[in-house]
Amino acid sequence: MCGRRSLLAALCIALSTMRPAIAAEPVGQAVVIKTEVTGQGGPIEVNTSVHRDERIRTSKSGLGQFLFRDGTKLAVGWGSSVVIDKYVFDDSQSVRKLTIRAAKGTFRWVSGNSKSSAYQILTPAGTIGVRGTAFDFYVGPDGTTAVVLLNGAASFCGPGGCRQLQQRCDCVVAKPNGDMSPARRVDPSVLDTLGNPRALPFLSGNQRLAGGIGMLGGCNMASVAPERKDRARPPPAIEPAPQRQDPPQKQAEPQKERPNKPDKPHHERPHHDKPHHDRPDHDRPDKPDKHDGHGRHDTDGKPGNHGEDHRDHDRDHGGNRDRNHGGDRDRDHDKDRGRNFHRGR
């Protein structure tokens, strides 16, 4: 009896020592880490390995991108919790089974090199079946789950049945009680249905992914991102008003040439620009011979003859007066001669 007990104790010890070794088996690694992402051993950093049965958590602003050994990519957005539930190797390039259990949060999945039947994603509302696929999914606090297809095909099965997602941007919303929407194209109203404007952040642009996994998305959900709305405001602010200011700028160009004009030598300036000491006409106003022609005009409009005309006019009058006085003297002399003649007789 004692031997059996000792044997059981030994087996328990052996099993307890083997479990950490199994849990420590790496299945992938972190390629992008933002803010705070934690695993079983504490904070996860870039190039840190992730293991089977490890729970990965992100903070309210955290983001982690992981690459599994078969090429499968998983993005874990803010406020998320997910466990790598099963990971069974087939060979170095594929797996027989890869199952993750998403408790809450936002995710993006891109299948790797393994068969589609090898992948399975468990949520509180049902199971996502992968068909060589890329899709986003969200799990709310109450277990409500939304799946948006980005590439390939997928299915969602829950208590209420199954829905097939076959076209890009097809969306299904399911609840743990079995309620499930038909597959239809996703639009911003799905955020109201989920009761969380931060749901599906990789589609809305509220969280951005790096690498090829970030190239997927769209589905007209980017318009709900606050920063996208802000970016859409500048185009209406562009007005043709700046173009109307172009003519004043063209008128201002000739002013650039004006400072070059005063650079001419002093002797090339016009006569009226010379200093007053160079003008003898203005320095000696008391000499009439220098101002006789100032402001004079001929009948032909040429200046400088008006004073000469006056002098000629005076000379003419003076000569006539002299001639007249001379004639008067001659007549008086003749009269005196006549008187003397009569007196002599």
For residue 282, what pLDDT is reported?
Answer: 43
Which residue in the block uniquely carries the two structure tokens 């328990």? 12
SS3 125: coil
- Return the pLDDT at 19: 41
Alpha-carbon span 137 to 147, nearest angstrom: 4
- What is the chain's Cα-based Rg? 56
DSSP codes, 32-50: EEES-EEETTEE--TT-EE
Distance, in Å, from the CA atom of 88 to the CA atom of 71, rounded to the nearest integer, reads 14
Q: Tens of pLDDT along the chain (345 residues)?
A: 445 555 555 555 554 444 444 446 899 999 999 999 999 889 999 999 999 999 999 999 999 999 999 999 999 999 999 999 999 988 778 899 999 999 999 999 999 999 999 999 999 999 999 988 999 999 999 999 999 999 999 999 999 899 999 999 999 999 999 999 999 999 999 999 999 999 999 999 999 999 889 888 779 888 554 444 334 444 555 655 555 555 555 555 555 555 555 454 444 444 444 444 444 444 444 444 444 444 444 444 444 444 444 444 444 444 444 444 444 555 554 555 445 444 443
Answer for the pair 229, 223: CB distance below 8 angstroms, yes or no.
yes
Using the structure block, give the residue that is written with the tokens 């911003």. Answer: 188
pTM above 0.95, yes or no: no
Give, in degrees to the nearest 5, the angle at Cα 261 between 255 and 262.
120
pLDDT at res. 101: 97
Asked whether 176 and 192 are in contact (CB, 8 A), the reply is no
